[in-house]
Amino acid sequence: MPEITRAKTLHQGQFNRLIKITQATSRYPERDVLVLMLGHHLGMRITEISRLTVADVMHGSGKLRSEISMREAITKGCRQRCAYQASKSAIQALDTYLQYRIERGIGTVVGIGPYRGLLPHQPLIYSSRGDGMSQNTKRRVLESGVQRDYKACDSLQAHVTKLYQRAGIKGGSSHSGRRTFASKVLATTGDMETVAQLLGHTSIDCSQRYVDVDQGVLQAMFAAAVKAPYNIGKRKE
């Protein structure tokens, strides 16, 4: 069988370079930086990002949600999961893009209203045409043998891959953010079940294909596990 090429995981220096190059060269830097942040800091797939609505990330009061519910309708596996806005840089990128849209009247209502004046059920990410990103209908066969149609945003996927190429990151693609996110979670927690839950996978085996942790980090995790004391109570006489 041919070897499967996996998207490159990024270290912090590469990610910083990717953001800086995108800010300097993209036609829509506010939007593109946010897309990259949602992948790297929240573990979202490109198609999931393209199908988010304003109401998914913001309350009617205009306050950003700390917990984003990834609805069944927008996830690849048709399973709801939560993504958490715990990254200050991702939150700042979201605020910056929302302000960009408000100032240019992209998907807004006349006058001041809920959701900072943005239409709540319109896509969060807009295309260069001034509407939502185009979606392609595809079909796959599940392990159960059932065929299921799903949406894929090939145009945004190709665009994001070009951002990596422009930054000179060999092997980088639209899936690099999700893989980098998974590797960071594993390095921090040492728990594949947590990785699977945050990625929305039903099995650890599926999540294991995503992670790419530095050997030194793995050794440190192993050493910490070996040194951890066992919680054994005193035996009663």
Q: What string of DSSP letters covers 14-42?
A: HHHHHHHHHHHH-SSHHHHHHHHHHHHHH
Gap between the Cα atoms of 155 and 185, Å rounded: 28
Per-residue pLDDT at 146? 72
**Residues whose CB falls within 8 Å of the CB of residue 195, separated by 6 or more in sequence, listed in order:** 182, 185, 186, 189, 201, 204, 207, 210, 211
Going by C-alpha positions, the residue among 54, 75, 59 that lies closest to residue 122 is: 54
* C-alpha torsion angle, residues 201, 207, 209, 213 (rounded to 10): 150
Per-residue pLDDT at 221? 45
The pTM for the full model equals: 0.78
The answer to whether domain 12-169 has CATH 3.30.565.10 is no
* Helix/strand/coil (H/E/C) assignment for every residue in 62-117: CCECCEEEECHHHCCCCCCEEEECCCHHHHHHHHHHHHHHHHHCCCECCCCCCHHH
Per-residue pLDDT at 16? 95
Domain boundaries along the sequence of the chain: 12-169, 175-229
pLDDT in tens, the chain (237 residues): 334 467 788 889 999 999 999 999 999 999 999 999 999 999 888 989 999 999 999 999 999 999 988 877 766 666 778 888 889 999 999 999 999 999 999 999 887 789 999 999 999 999 988 888 888 887 766 556 677 777 788 899 999 999 999 999 999 988 888 888 888 877 777 666 777 777 665 555 454 555 555 555 445 544 554 454 544 444 444
